[in-house]
Every structure is written in structure tokens, then in C-alpha cells.
């Protein structure tokens, strides 16, 4: 009996020996769930002629009696099992938890039930039965730690696309694209289509990311370089393209939080811990290796005192945009950018790191 869910990331990379006839695939990443379902389906139905043994249902529309009928039907024309997939099964599981528990407790049939859903609470009787009798695969992606995703990108690139890249390049790719499995795989497919076997940092810089990603970087870079007019121009481009002030703040916030966290670690090391260099503090705050030098320069331009105020400024901007004060969110965002770039707003706050 498994003690907990298995990793969907690991599942798509490894050979499958034997699988139970009940599987749950859950998590925050639809694309990863689809990759897992594709592999499960191929395990049970390896031949293209087996497709008539496959039944797929929308969890918002189907009822248990329909699923039960499919699971108890024996195919007269194939030795393969009937594979029943319920996608978007959150509502289905909620409505038919009792029937699923009875099915699992008594299940000994040869047909297969696969449930794909976003949430799978671990403390229910059904969840415990699923671990005991079946296979539960966790397909969270965005919630995983950065180092796990970097390791997976390196392995997946080789496994799926026959591409080689080192961890620093994988970090760079993750930083530019974001923790979205489908977008990362799309970028790897694009590199594979170029006929290259090795992905370099230069290739990622030239070919990866959207203009929105670049625009957000330009907002920060221009602000900290004392060029608020350039920074505001980039903000207006993003707004004209349909982004909201709160959405732009959400893209800027992780960059500024890392600068604040690194400054906090550098200036006020935890009791009993050694002092670290500024680059070490940035790495601990989650800055990828390829960006350490640039982020160090950015932080030194910002200054220690102002960097320590970043979190407060972000919280104030976020609360104001969400209605704490009757202020136009666009003006709040513009003011934040101007404050970042003008030392005169906060005399003495530009002391060197």
C-alpha cells in the first residue's frame, strides 16, 4: 500500500511495470494531467485498434450508473480491458463518493477507471481506499519547488525531445516562461525543431519568452536606472494590450520580493547563521544562477534602505488597488514605478548595499 500520492512528473519519465485498474490523476496543471493520462491510456491500450475500448466522459455531465455500466461491460472483440476516463471529475467525485468507495472496496474486475480532477483531499475514506487499491498521481506543477522543476526540465528535455541542457539554462527557461508545464514543453519542442541537440543560454535569451515578459523586465530595469519615463511607456504598452494594473503588479511583485528577501538576509542574517555575500543572499531568495550578477547590480542601484521598504510598498500598492482607498489602480502602479526610480522621494534611502 502506498503511503501517499506518487509524482506525476516522475511517472511520465519512468517505465511502467504494472498498474492497478483504478487511477486518480489530480493537480493544478492540466497539461501535465493530460501527459499522465496519455501514458496510462497507452499502457492499457497500446494498439491503435484498441481505441474502441476507450470511453471518455465529462465529469460535469456523467452519472455513476453510466460509469458503472461501462465498467461491467466485457468487450466481445478485444482482449484489452475497457478504459473509462472521467475528465474534470471534481463534481463527479463529490456527488458519487459513496458509490466510488463501494466500487473500490469490492473491485476485482478487469476494466479500468481513470479519474482526472483538480482537487483530491487526502483525508477522506475514498482517498485512503484509492491509495490502498489503486494509483494516485499528483500533477501539481506551479506549487512545486523551483529546484524540483529545474531537475525535471533537464530530464524531460532529454527523455521527450533528445535535448541536452544544464541546470542553469533550465533555471533560465523556467524564469522566463514561468511554472507552466505546457509552455515549457512548447519551448522545448521549438528548440527540438531547430535541429539542435544542446540548448544554450544564448538560445534561450534569443528565442524564449513573450514580449510581455520582456516588458515587465524593462519596467523594473528602467525604473531602477532612473528612467521612469521609459518604465511608464512599457506599462502603458502592457495596459493597451489588455493587462490590468493589478495583473502587472502581480508580475512585478515576485522580482521585487526577491530583492527585498535578499537584502533582509544580507543585512540581518538569522541568529547563529554565517554572513553571506550579496550573490549568496540573492540565490537563497530564489534568484536563478544565470541572473545573479544582473540582480546584484539592480539591488545595488536600488540601495539598502529602499530595498528594505519594497515589501511595504508592494503591500500598500496591492491593498490600495483592491479598494483600501478610492484611488485609480493605474495611478497607484505609476506612482510605485516613479518611487522606485527617484531617490529624491526618500532622502537617504539610496545608501549603497
| Helix/strand/coil percentages in the chain, nearest 5 | 60, 10, 30
- Summarised one tens digit per residue, pLDDT across range 160-193 is 999 999 999 999 898 888 788 988 998 898 888 8
* In a shared domain, residues 106 and 24: yes
pLDDT at 275: 87
Distance CA 17, CA 28 (A): 26
Distance CA 53, CA 59 (A): 19
Identify the segments of the chain with pLDDT beneath 70: 1-2, 48-50, 76-78, 107-108, 209-212, 324-326, 342-353
CATH of the domain at 222: 1.20.272.10
In a domain, 352, yes or no: no
CATH of the domain at 194: 1.10.8.60
* In a shared domain, residues 88 and 189: no
pLDDT at 343: 58
Which cell goes with 171?
Answer: 533555471
In a domain, 28, yes or no: yes
CB under 8 Å to 265, separation ≥6 — which residues? 276, 281, 284, 285
DSSP per-residue string spanning 94-127: HHSHHHHHHHHHH---S-EEEEEES---TTSHHH
CATH of the domain at 40: 3.40.50.300
Three-state DSSP string of 75-102 = CCCCCCCCEEEEECCHHHHHHCHHHHHH
- pTM of the predicted protein model: 0.67
Distance CA 150, CA 320 (A): 35
In a domain, 264, yes or no: yes
* In a shared domain, residues 332 and 233: yes
- To the nearest 10°, the Cα dihedral for 314, 317, 319, 324? 150
pLDDT at 100: 95
* In a shared domain, residues 236 and 164: no
pLDDT at 351: 42
* In a shared domain, residues 63 and 184: no
* In a shared domain, residues 270 and 323: yes
* In a shared domain, residues 121 and 197: no
* In a shared domain, residues 241 and 196: no
Distance CA 85, CA 57 (A): 6
* In a shared domain, residues 229 and 203: no
Q: Which of 138, 168, 187 is the last residue of a domain?
A: 138
Q: Which of 207, 222, 247 is the last residue of a domain?
A: 207
In a domain, 350, yes or no: no
In a domain, 303, yes or no: yes
pLDDT at 291: 76
Distance CA 172, CA 287 (A): 10
* In a shared domain, residues 86 and 165: no
pLDDT at 353: 42
* In a shared domain, residues 188 and 107: no
* In a shared domain, residues 48 and 154: no
- Asked whether the beta carbons of 92 and 86 are under 8 A apart, the reply is yes
In a domain, 245, yes or no: yes
Domain total of the chain: 3
In a domain, 191, yes or no: yes
CB neighbours (10 Å) of residue 345? Answer: 12
Q: Which of 138, 156, 187 is the last residue of a domain?
A: 138
Which cell goes with 299?
Answer: 539591488
In a domain, 109, yes or no: yes
User: Residue 20 is part of which domain span?
Assistant: 6-138
Amino acid at each position: 500500500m502506498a503511503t501517499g500520492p506518487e509524482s506525476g512528473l516522475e511517472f511520465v519519465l519512468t517505465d511502467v511495470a504494472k498498474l492497478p485498474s483504478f487511477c486518480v490523476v489530480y493537480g493544478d496543471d492540466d497539461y501535465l494531467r493530460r501527459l499522465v493520462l496519455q501514458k496510462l491510456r497507452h499502457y492499457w491500450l497500446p494498439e491503435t485498434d484498441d481505441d474502441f475500448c476507450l470511453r471518455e466522459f465529462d465529469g460535469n455531465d456523467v452519472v455513476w450508473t453510466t460509469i458503472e455500466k461501462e465498467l461491467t461491460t466485457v468487450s466481445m472483440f478485444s482482449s484489452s480491458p475497457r478504459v473509462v476516463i472521467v475528465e474534470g471529475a471534481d463534481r463527479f467525485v463529490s456527488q458519487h463518493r459513496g458509490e466510488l468507495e463501494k466500487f473500490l472496496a469490492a473491485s476485482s474486475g478487469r476494466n479500468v477507471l481513470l479519474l482526472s480532477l483538480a482537487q483530491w483531499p487526502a483525508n477522506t475514506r475514498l482517498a485512503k481506499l484509492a491509495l490502498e487499491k489503486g494509483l494516485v498521481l499528483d500533477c501539481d506543477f506551479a506549487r512545486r519547488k523551483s529546484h524540483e522543476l529545474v531537475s525535471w526540465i533537464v530530464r524531460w528535455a532529454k527523455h521527450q525531445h533528445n535535448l541536452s541542457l544544464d541546470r542553469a539554462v533550465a533555471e533560465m527557461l523556467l524564469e522566463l516562461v514561468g511554472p507552466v508545464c505546457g509552455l515549457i514543453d512548447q519551448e522545448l519542442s521549438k528548440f527540438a525543431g531547430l535541429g539542435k541537440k544542446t540548448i544554450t543560454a544564448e538560445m534561450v535569451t534569443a528565442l524564449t519568452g513573450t514580449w510581455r515578459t520582456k516588458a515587465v523586465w524593462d519596467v523594473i530595469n528602467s525604473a531602477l536606472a532612473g528612467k521612469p519615463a521609459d518604465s511608464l511607456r512599457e506599462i502603458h504598452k502592457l495596459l493597451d494590450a489588455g493587462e490590468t494594473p493589478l495583473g502587472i503588479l502581480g508580475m512585478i511583485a515576485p522580482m521585487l520580493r526577491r530583492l527585498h528577501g535578499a537584502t533582509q538576509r544580507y543585512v540581518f542574517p538569522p541568529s547563529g547563521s554565517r554572513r553571506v555575500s550579496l550573490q549568496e543572499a540573492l540565490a537563497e531568495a530564489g534568484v536563478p544562477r544565470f541572473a545573479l550578477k544582473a540582480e546584484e547590480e539592480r539591488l545595488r542601484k536600488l540601495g539598502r534602505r529602499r530595498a528594505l521598504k519594497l515589501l511595504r510598498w508592494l503591500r500598500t500598492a496591492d491593498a490600495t488597488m483592491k479598494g483600501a482607498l478610492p484611488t485609480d489602480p493605474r495611478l497607484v502602479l505609476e506612482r510605485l514605478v516613479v518611487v522606485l526610480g527617484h531617490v529624491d522621494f526618500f532622502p537617504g534611502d539610496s545608501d549603497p548595499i
